[in-house]
Amino acid sequence: MTHHLEIVGTDCAQVGIVRHDTQEWMFFQNYPFIQSELLAHVSACVHPNPKRALITGGFDTQIAFELLKHEDMHVDFVQEDRAMLENLHTFLPQFQETKTHARFKLYDRILDLDLQPYDIIISLSTLNAHQVDGLQRMLAPRGFMVSVAPSPLLEQEAFKDTLKDLQTCAQILMPFNTPYAPTPQIYLFISKHYHPLADMLLQKIDMLDGLRYYNAEIHHAAFAQPQWLKGACARLLKN
């Protein structure tokens, strides 16, 4: 699988853009903590006792670095293009530390994973119906997924199609984004049990040290929905 890296200079330092087919991943040299802190701690601060997490469909190993801050958390990361991971070292400052961590494993393919259920699965690519079906089978009974999603502003039909693909595997299906990010990204919280706001664990959040982005206020703000979105997707969202 061939990925292409483009590095662009901006007023806020370098931006790295990795492209493959229709997928694109963007990295900001000055802000490697925004997506990683949000996805890791929104997930781990909703589930009361997560032990195993899977990250697939992208390159952001900073998410694993953040998840490993939670006691007894084991993280599996699937990415076969290891050369690209090395090329992104400027944008993934804790990559070397993460890949040698005792509770972190890097795999080339999902088929290489051990047959153990995950409490949290994070997909850094938009999922199709086939992928959704496969990943949900890898969840623990109370596990949940977080996934990148198309923009409901710029890709309205693709966003709705993604929601439709998730209807049968979610009792809770809520979009969220990255407040105060240079380029906001849309994600989906996909769960049959835990609710990202009602089950948010404030005590757990308060115990996190050394963060630059995530806190309880950001957690709440990330799930705010504009009125037009509620109207356009009323039958597809599950709040």
Please give the single-letter amino acid code of residue 78: V
Query: Is 161 an active-site residue?
Result: no
Do 91 and 35 meet the contact criterion of CB atoms below 8 Å apart?
A: no
Choose the catalytic residue: 72, 133, 206, 209.
Answer: 133
The closest of 232, 206, 59, 146 to 135, measured between CA atoms, is: 146
The closest of 31, 6, 30 to 18, measured between CA atoms, is: 6
Distance CA 48, CA 67 (A): 13
| Torsion sign over Cα 43, 47, 51, 52 | negative
Distance CA 148, CA 122 (A): 8
Which positions ≥6 away from 224 have C-beta within 8 Å? none
Residues 49-58 as b or e (16 or more Cβ within 10 Å = b)? ebbbbbbbbb
Q: Is residue 167 helix, strand or coil?
A: helix
Catalytic residues: 133
